[in-house]
Amino acid sequence: MFFKIELRDHVRVPPLFFGEDLDVAVTKAARNKFEGLIAPHLGIVVDVLGVKDVGEGTIIAGDGAAYYEAVVEVLALRPELQEVVFGRIKDITDFGAFLTMGPVDGMIHISQTMDDFVSFSKDKVLLGRDTKRTLRVGDLCTARVIAVSYKDIANPKIGLTMRQPWLGKPEWSEKAPAKEAGEEKEEKKEKKKEEKEAKK
pLDDT tens for 172-198 read 886 544 544 455 556 666 767 777 776
Q: What pLDDT does residue 179 have? A: 47
CA 35 to CA 15: how far, in whole Å? 20
* Residues 45 and 91 placed together within one structural domain of the fold: no
Identify the domain containing residue 169 by its residue range. Answer: 84-174
* Residues 150 and 89 placed together within one structural domain of the fold: yes
Q: What is the CATH number of the domain that holds 139?
A: 2.40.50.140
* Residues 67 and 108 placed together within one structural domain of the fold: no
Maximal CA-CA distance, the chain: 102
The amino acid that residue 86 corresponds to is F
Give domain status of residue 26, yes or no.
yes
pLDDT tens for 84-108 read 999 999 999 999 999 998 888 999 9
- Write down which residue in 20, 46, 77 finishes a domain: 77
